Chains A and B, each alone.
Chain A
Amino acid sequence: MTTGGDGDPAGRERTYRDTPARRALAFARNTWRGLTSMRVALILLFLLALAAFPGAVLPQRMVDASAVSRYIEDYGWWGRLLDRLQFFDVYGSVWFSAIYLLLLVSLVGCLVPRSVEYVRSMRARPVLTPRNLARMPHHREGQLRADPDTVVARAHDRLSRWRRVERTEQDGARTISAERGYLRETGNLVFHFALLGLIIAFAVGHMYKYEGQVIVHADGSEFCNSGIYAYDTFNAGLNVDGTGLTPFCVRVNDFEADYLPNGQPENYRADIEYQSGDDLRDDTWRPYDLQVNHPLRTEGDRVYLLGHGFAPEFTVTFPDGQQRTKATQWRPNDQITLLSDGATKFDPPGVTDEARRRSNQIAITGLFAPTAHFNGKILTSSAPGLDDPAVAVDVMRGDLGIDSGYGQSIFEIDEKMVEQDRLERVARENLRPGEEIQLDDGTRISFDGVHRWASLQVSHDPTQGWVLAFAIVMLVGLAASLIVKRRRLWIRVSPSGDGGAGSLVHVGGLARTDQAGYGEEFTRLAADLLDDTGGEWDARNGSERNRS
């Protein structure tokens, strides 16, 4: 500090000079102050709400990738522009991340000084009693017969749950300053710290979590969580490389679905067995009744029943008498009636000649209805229950293109092969179980029956327990900070002026909380404090005055 003393050279050195470093420092300081101000926090909150909005109305890749592709196709340049601006990955986009990171910084910048202030205020004693309590928003006064000592002792008793300090003023009046409702600020800080914890736990969870979906036939087939290859689809956080998945196996023995007469599903359940942990070594299977709202929780992972469908079983009897039986899952394309489509593909057995093999592959494609309903020859499904199954199939013969090197869907045949006339339709028929088709070369195809499959999801999220814990703490803190009122009460007791043993008592109150509604409590308290059991009321002074 330069005090203009007599020629202290160091003092002159320290006068302010506008150096780049100082300017940078000032800039940083102002930025920090701006960022942590409530006004900027508010604006960031609005931006966050605004930025989250497109995710509610536009399809999102993480929710439904195919809907995004359809949207982009339908809307042309507009769709491509939205895509480039990351509107289909809103919650991972640069701009959304920027907003919540800034908000996080703002939150920390707000919490740190407030915590310091909080610690200080928790140590502080309640403030001095104002000189004129009649100016407080809540005020009452009375003339009591009891002497000041008794009144003060009684007040201490009544205010036992308040933080309070007694002081004696110069003129001999004794005052108590009392304050209550510190829990409000505690709750507020707890809420904000828990919010911070929740966000961090959420973010960490996103790095380490994975979920995979897999279709398992409900005929005793097994699925093991041994690697990504075991899944049909697999989504994982950045830090998951697919090795070291929690080992466990699931076997689906049966699947049941109950429907109401109107086709509304009433209940789904899969009868499964599983083994995990030590059971894997002992080869012990434990039964579990997997239902929609009852996932299997084992070793920190969860197994869900997502959906179900049908796998029609076909047997192909080749001209040489060899038989092949297959039940490939078909996919439901109508979620209400479970009308399904798919393709069951066969290789001719025992054919070593590559060219002959590839001209005699067979695919059975078409529709499957659990409860068949025919419009003429057109098959539809009238209900999702497996009551009267039928298939409407095209039998394709030729080169399925399985060896072309391209992957193909298990639900479809490669249409390119049909276009190139390498795969042709040799029959079209509606079949019920037990019925069969005879092809021109003597091959017989029979529809044997239907298997059910269950679609399972395995989810792993190591931090979700933390997120829940933080959310509960948040809720408790929030309730405390919104319900508890911070309020002050002062009482001044002075000997009554007429020289008697009585005392003159003033009570004042102030709510430190916005719109807290302190009036009723104050009225009650003041009435107790001024209750001079056996004393007489001074009607003139006992008047009540509550203002708002």
Chain B
Amino acid sequence: MPVNATLSQLSDWSYSSAAAIYLLAMILFLVEQAFGRKGQEAAERAGTRAVAGQDESAVATAGGGEPPESPAVGPAERRHRGRAERFGSMGVAVMVLGMLLHLAALVFRGWSTGRAPWGNMYEFLMVLCFAAVVTWLVVISRHAVRHLSAFVLLPVVLLLFLGGTLLYSTAVPVQPALQSYWLVIHVSAAAASSGIFLVPGVASVLYLFHSAHQRDPARFSSLVRRLPSKELLDRVAYRVTVFAFPLFTFGVIAGAIWAESAWGRFWGWDPKETVAFITWVIYAAYLHARATAGWRGDRAAMINIAGFAVVVFNLFFINLVVAGLHSYAQVD
């Protein structure tokens, strides 16, 4: 099938614009993070919440319910909210705009090639980042973590930059092995779950900063002062992981079904399969760690970070360095 050059050009423009707009949103969020009141508020809330948390654990070991996420500011105070917070809400608007352009880039790419727009590494990264951005927008609509958006946008912008420069490939149809409806199912599940895993990874890194600060108050004090409570970071990491993990599992199973019809076996320890297996085991360990005394908190956060590190390893090292059946990167 011929490739529509105009559409693919549109896709490229949307892609670059989306990346630039994310960068702008990141700057706005950084302003909020640096000068906003939410940081201090969050720190104060963390104090009260820690007390409440202890109280609750006396009632039940499980972490109980959800706080109403409207921040504890009255309407009078909200009217006086600082300029920095306004930067934050502008950041969200800009981020949504970026997301729409990002979506347009995907749609145009798919339209121009007449296939699902995730047939090579550039496109895979595009989907991955899109999933991360959407996940984060959902997270900030439910939890008071908006001022942390810059920490999520930083890896997203980095990945988009890498994708758009080093890994870029022109819009072409895919080779026979990829011409299957499983491309739509398996690769989208894999890319989306990888992108969603980015969010808990970032939350867990921030969690560890928090812990380091608790052990030695001199360390990272200016950063941690502006972070939400550890409990909230942990909850965000857990909730998002719990959503992504079944999706990832589904992606692996779909991959196995596809491999059975494309390569003659459903599982053959191809490098990509192996690292997907390792990723699965690590996230399974994370879920178990959160239910095991002595493994909650720091250790669980570290496991979550390790999980995302393996996802990144799978994406870059296995695609670009190790030769395997999944060598579809098509880096020009």
Contacts and interface: CB of A to CB of B under 8 A. Distances in A.
Interface in A61-107: 62-63, 90-91
A142 to B, nearest CB: 19
A509 B65 contact: yes
B252 to A, nearest CB: 9
Most B Cβ at <10 Å: residue of A39, A474, A514: A514
Contacts of B268: 62-63
B294 A39 contact: yes
Contacts of A31: none
Interface in B272-298: 274-275, 277-278, 281-282, 284-285, 287-292, 294-295
B62 interface: yes
B321 to A, nearest CB: 8
B36 to A, nearest CB: 23
B260 interface: yes
A45 B284 CA distance: 8
Contact of B175 (A265, A468, A475, A478): A265
Contacts of A475: 246, 249-250, 253
A260 B64 contact: no
A461 interface: yes
Contact of B65 (A53, A478, A547): A547
A478 B294 CA distance: 24
A262 B172 CA distance: 10
B220 interface: no
A114 to B, nearest CB: 12
Interface residues of A, number: 69
A546 B245 contact: no
Interface string B65-80: 1111000000000000
A519 B249 contact: no
A295 interface: yes
Interface stretch (A115-123, A274-282, A286-294, A394-402): A286-294
Given A138-B65, A475-B250, A482-B246, A260 B278 contact: no
A318 interface: no
A474 B63 CA distance: 26
Nearest to B253: A471
Q: Is the interface of A mostly helix, strand, loop or mixed?
A: mixed
A514 B238 contact: yes
Contacts of B281: 45, 48-49, 52
Given A459-B265, A517-B239, A56 B292 contact: no
A511 interface: yes
A294 B257 CA distance: 12
A211 B264 contact: yes
Interface string B216-237: 0000000000000001001100
Contacts of A138: 64-65
B284 A137 contact: no
A63 B66 contact: no
B260 A478 contact: no
Contacts of B180: 293
Given A45-B284, A53-B278, A56-B278, A514 B65 contact: no
B66 A517 contact: yes
A518 B56 CA distance: 14
19 contacts: A38-B291, A41-B288, A45-B284, A45-B288, A49-B282, A56-B322, A57-B271, A63-B270, A135-B59, A211-B265, A292-B177, A295-B264, A459-B264, A461-B265, A475-B249, A515-B235, A518-B66, A548-B56, A548-B66
- For the complex of A and B, the 7 pairs showing the least CB-CB separation, nearest first, are A519-B66, A137-B64, A548-B67, A56-B274, A519-B65, A293-B180, A518-B65
Interface of A: 38-39, 41-42, 45-46, 48-49, 52-53, 55-57, 60, 62-63, 90-91, 135-138, 202, 211, 260, 262, 264-268, 291-295, 302, 304, 306, 457, 459, 461, 464, 467-468, 471-472, 474-475, 478-479, 482-483, 509-520, 522, 546-548
Given A137-B60, A264-B175, A510-B60, 11 more contacts: A45-B284, A137-B56, A202-B267, A264-B172, A266-B176, A293-B261, A459-B265, A482-B242, A482-B287, A514-B63, A519-B67
